[in-house]
């Protein structure tokens, strides 16, 4: 390690210590790796493929393409807002820690508690949703040769558990290679998009017109009013573009995180937006009969689309294999972020059994028990599929809502506190800060309502969107634990004491002393 690298590392460790934490994780990751991890979690071609039924039901081409463009732009604004705050507080606590630092002492514990649980549940449910839909997609490959095959509940859940197991094993035993894995993800995804684009356009016997691709709108299958149907269909893009904020949990594994992580967050969203457009346009130009695609029993029409366009089951599977490769990176990346989020939240005593979940395995250099807990929780959530497939499908909406609201929390507090904490941020939005922050808050507030809507009307028990019910359930668990233990023992994360930050209040040192005692106890 060079003298400059040592000086940078010492500065980074000093900054983390100033925020009240001891560095326990090796800093192996680069900005490109953070960008790759964020890109892996969003998994653009995979995510757009597994949720395609939403936009095809609610508007088709206009919703698929222009809905994606709209969500990409607003997500870029959210990512920039988070990146600005991250550059001031580069710690694994992410939005949970930021909410605490930006709030007043009176509201700091409850603000950080709510944000932390939203983030934790969002991480767990998005990991569950990614890997479960991946299991469904793997099983859907069988239908390329056997169209009558419909996987039963046990087959689907067991495949989901298998995907979770692979993701867990990679996170536990190959953590030292995460930097390379994240970089390979970007190469694989870029190559996959190019190959799919060229193959579809070259092999399609029938092509749609440019008018269909860019202007066709048909919401008749949804039952919603035409204008409202467009917004309901935005869940496809919003679900994909959620994971970028999760990579803040990797701050303590990155050199110079106050610069590299914010850059990685913003660039990954921009790259994802462009990738999505390049992936969706050839699909729309070669789109087969929509009614046929929506009638697929598995609810995953992308394999049938590839088979129909290429004219063979082998060709369809070849393209589907590229999407399944992206699933691997997405499954591993989402569990990585979820485990780090679990570790960071447990480190401050906010989860039952925190002493266990906050331990870092010295030999493996990973929060081993955080990985195990996240894996077990996701696998248990998969059992809901036995009771209701509709309830499980609602996890897509729950993940989007939880992560969206957790992102909104620190941004809202930052605006209320007149953006004092970020006035000298290394990654600053400058004079556009207020406008960008307010636009993101408005959109997230609206999206909470939109993504609780069922995909189509009329609604039956097996087609109902239970996102609001599942969201309320987790809220009750969080609130119950707060009143049982949190309000007595939880004071939030350590508080930054810095004369350059006007938002820090006079009693910060008192809270710090209390937190230092708790951190010391936890470490012991």
- Helix, strand or coil, per DSSP, at residue 225: coil
Question: Could you tell me the two tokens for 164?
Answer: 């979770």
Task: Locate 233 and state its tokens.
Answer: 């269909």
Tokens 């119950």 sit at which residue?
A: 480
pTM of the shown model: 0.86
The closest alpha carbon to 91, from 346, 242, 261, belongs to 261
Structure tokens at 214: 């860019």
Cβ 367 vs Cβ 360: under 8 Å: yes
Contact 252, 16 (CB under 8 A): yes
Q: Which pLDDT tens digits describe the chain residue by residue (524 residues)?
A: 454 445 445 555 565 666 555 655 666 677 788 888 888 889 999 999 999 999 999 999 999 999 999 999 999 999 999 999 999 988 877 888 889 889 988 888 888 898 999 999 999 999 999 999 999 999 999 999 988 888 999 999 999 999 999 999 999 999 888 888 888 998 999 999 999 999 999 999 999 999 999 999 999 999 999 899 999 999 999 999 988 887 777 777 788 888 888 998 999 999 999 999 999 999 999 999 999 999 988 788 999 999 999 999 999 999 999 999 999 999 999 999 899 889 888 888 888 888 899 999 988 889 999 999 999 999 999 998 888 777 667 888 889 999 999 999 999 999 999 999 999 999 999 999 999 999 999 999 999 889 888 899 998 877 788 888 888 888 888 888 888 878 888 887 876 554 444 444 444 444 444 444 444 444 44
Q: Which residues contact 78 (CB under 8 A, 6 or more apart)?
A: 245, 407, 411, 440, 443, 444
Helix, strand or coil, per DSSP, at residue 254? strand
Q: Round to whole Å and give the CA distance between 250 and 242.
A: 16
Cβ contact 108:409 at 8 Å: no
Which residue in 393, 63, 34, 44 sits closest to 241, CA to CA? 44
The domains found in the chain, sorted by start residue, are: 27-521 (1.20.1740.10)
> Residue 361 forms beta bridges with which residues?
366
């Amino acid at each position: 390690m060079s003298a400059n690298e040592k000086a940078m590392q010492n500065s980074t460790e000093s900054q983390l210590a100033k925020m009240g934490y001891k560095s326990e994780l090796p800093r192996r990751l680069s900005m490109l790796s953070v960008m790759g991890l964020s890109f892996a979690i969003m998994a653009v071609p995979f995510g757009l493929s597994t949720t395609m039924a939403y936009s095809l039901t609610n508007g088709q081409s206009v919703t698929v393409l222009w809905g994606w463009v709209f969500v990409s732009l607003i997500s870029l604004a959210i990512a920039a807002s988070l990146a600005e705050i991250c550059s001031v507080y580069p710690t694994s606590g992410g939005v949970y820690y930021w909410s605490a630092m930006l709030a007043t002492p009176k509201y700091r514990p409850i603000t950080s508690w709510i944000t932390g649980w939203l983030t934790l549940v969002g991480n767990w449910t998005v990991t569950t949703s990614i890997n479960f839909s991946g299991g469904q997609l793997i099983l859907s490959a069988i239908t390329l040769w056997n169209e009558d095959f419909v996987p039963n509940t046990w087959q689907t859940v067991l495949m989901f558990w298998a995907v979770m197991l692979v993701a867990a094993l990679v996170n536990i035993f190959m953590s030292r290679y995460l930097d390379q894995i994240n970089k390979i993800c970007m190469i694989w995804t870029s190559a996959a998009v190019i190959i799919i684009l060229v193959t579809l356009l070259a092999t399609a016997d029938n092509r749609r017109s440019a008018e269909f691709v860019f202007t066709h709108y048909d919401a008749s299958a949804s039952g919603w009013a035409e204008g409202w149907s467009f917004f309901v269909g935005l869940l496809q893009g919003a679900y994909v573009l959620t994971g970028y904020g999760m990579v803040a949990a990797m701050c303590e594994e990155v050199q110079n995180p106050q610069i590299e992580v914010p850059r990685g967050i913003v660039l990954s969203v921009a790259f994802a937006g462009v990738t999505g457009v390049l992936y969706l346009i050839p699909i729309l130009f070669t789109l087969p009969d929509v009614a046929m695609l929506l009638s697929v029993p598995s609810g995953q029409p992308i394999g049938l689309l590839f088979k129909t366009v290429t004219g063979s089951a082998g060709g369809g599977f070849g393209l589907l294999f590229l999407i399944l490769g992206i699933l691997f990176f997405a499954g591993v990346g989402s569990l990585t972020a979820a485990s780090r989020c679990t570790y960071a939240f447990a480190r401050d005593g906010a989860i039952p059994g925190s002493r266990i979940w906050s331990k870092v395995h010295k030999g493996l250099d990973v929060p081993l028990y955080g990985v195990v807990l996240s894996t077990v929780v996701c696998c248990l959530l998969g059992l809901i599929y036995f009771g209701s497939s509709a309830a499980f499908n609602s996890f897509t909406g729950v993940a989007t809502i939880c992560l969206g609201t957790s992102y909104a929390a620190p941004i809202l507090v930052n605006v209320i506190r007149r953006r004092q904490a970020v006035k000298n941020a290394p990654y600053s939005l400058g004079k556009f800060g207020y406008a960008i922050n307010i636009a993101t808050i408005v959109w997230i507030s609206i999206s909470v309502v939109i993504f609780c809507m069922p995909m189509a009307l009329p609604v039956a028990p097996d087609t109902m969107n239970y996102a609001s019910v599942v969201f309320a359930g987790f809220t009750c668990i969080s609130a119950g634990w707060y009143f049982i233990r949190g309000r007595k023992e939880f004071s939030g994360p350590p508080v930054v004491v810095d004369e350059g930050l006007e938002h820090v209040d006079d009693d910060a040192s008192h809270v710090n002393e209390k937190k230092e005692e708790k951190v010391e106890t936890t470490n012991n």
